Structure 1
Amino acid sequence: MARAMVGVIGGTGLGEALGALGGGEVRALDTPFGRPSAPITLTEVGGVPVALLPRHGEGHMLNPSQVPYRANIWALKSLGVTHVLASGAVGSLREEVAPRNLVIPDQVIDKTFRRAGTFFDDLAVHVEFAAPFCTTLRNVLVKAGTGFPARVHQGGTYVCMEGPQFSTRAESELHRSWGASLIGMTVMPEAKLAREAELCYALVALPTDYDCWKPHPASVDQAKLIEEILANVKSATQNAIELIRRAIPHVAALEKPCACQSALALAIWSDRSRIAPATREKLRPILEKYLAG
């Protein structure tokens, strides 16, 4: 397999802490889908090339609906990234998934409705998405979590809501009734776009609280609650950075490409001879190997 390059997309907390993975060359890119959330830092972790991108931008100025997901994934792909390890703060919908734990989810329910969810506005492309997270990359994270000081949950369904407001109590109870484990705002369409770009993608979710289904003690006022959540973010962030740091060498050691890296092989339904030159150029980093000649 060609040499791996790992993209790390940091969510709430981890986005501001990505510098802990190392400094390096900073690349300010433009894409056919606009500018990414922030300049991308190119560095190495254990000798493995890594591209660091804070999802919400410098200073956390982008809310989940404003994140330029297409620009972010396109930029990483154009830089040569092959695998993406993402993180994101979430609310827990399960008693056993406690704040400050980490979760490697395996399923998603997409409730977003304001976000551009595909690169392919000008042609018909249908990728398989039954397993929304790369199984190979999830296994890497599980292996890296062996003996980890914080509890790492394997599997769970992530409900991705539009936001930016949090759930109502009725919504939280509904999501629990679906069997979901996590509620968040950022994994979609990020994971879908990564699949369209033939990037392996997995998520480290950082539970910060129990959403609103679990009542808070009456003795805890709102200010104290926010303080507690921020402390949970800080702790989970440090755990996530360490887990990702441990996982990166395992990514580099992978010997075989996985199905994610040929996701478009049977997915392009449009007549390729009719794809406009402008579209070919716009999507060159993604489609080039399928439109040769």
Structure 2
Amino acid sequence: MYFATFAYNNIEQTGILSKDQEVIIPMKEIFNKLNKEAPQTLKEFVETSDDHLIQSIKDILEISDFEGIPVDQIKLCAPIPYPSRNLICLGKNYIDHAKEVVGLPGANDEIPKFPIYFSKIAHPAIGHQDMIKNHKALTDMIDYEVELAVVIGRDGINIKIEEVEEYIFGYTIVNDVSARNLQRKHEQWFRGKCLETFCPMGPYLVHKSEIPFPVTLDLKCSINGEIRQNSNTENLIFDIPYIISDLSKGMYLRTGDIIITGTPSGVGLGFKPFKFLKSGDVVECYIEKIGTLTNTVE
């Protein structure tokens, strides 16, 4: 199932994409059929759902006729615009990207021997077709990073690698927008990645049942139609089972936590000369089985 947070007639709500991907079925209509109170947000839905509820929703969608709202009449928002905690991020998690950004602070080795973790504030994350602010008083080195995001579905600590999928709710796309000059200035990554609108997310939150595990998905990023990044998640240095198991050692992962797993080569910083984003640029982040997240730079 493909879950969405969307605005229709200026009212924000949640829904599920139809199988033909032509309409959004409001969650409140589905929950009315189930004689349950609908969650107000997808964050609340993730926090309260379980396998039984997911199966009940699948069953009701099969046997009921929902009219839905045409996709072209809605505005897609970030699936979880206000995460409960900072996003957990992976730095230099594709070998080709690690090689192209040699010299950035944050790791002593060209290829990490251990995962490089940091966090990113999204309050809120922006959605599909939203504008990325240029923050021209602070930076002229705005970069793009297409990343697969994993949304945790249940609390866990000391999670075994072979049990990781049980703790995943689903997946979405995050563009980890970065101000490279701020990264260099402050000698860490947090400041340059947390400016307002620097966390596009979406277009959908895809339930894990739609994506075979272990996850091997093509991902691409294009700027004004020019493909800059093109890889597959099978090229991750530290894969999803390793990341989640490692993070959970001695630390609780909480339901609704979002982990973004790193970006492949082809970022603006990796070109000579640099290819940073400019005003009016259209950024398209695509991940197989999830969709395309499109944003324009202010």
Same fold flag (TM > 0.5): no
Instruction: Give the TM-score, by structure 1 length.
Output: 0.26
Instruction: Give the TM-score, by structure 2 length.
Output: 0.26
Q: Which has the higher strand share?
A: 2
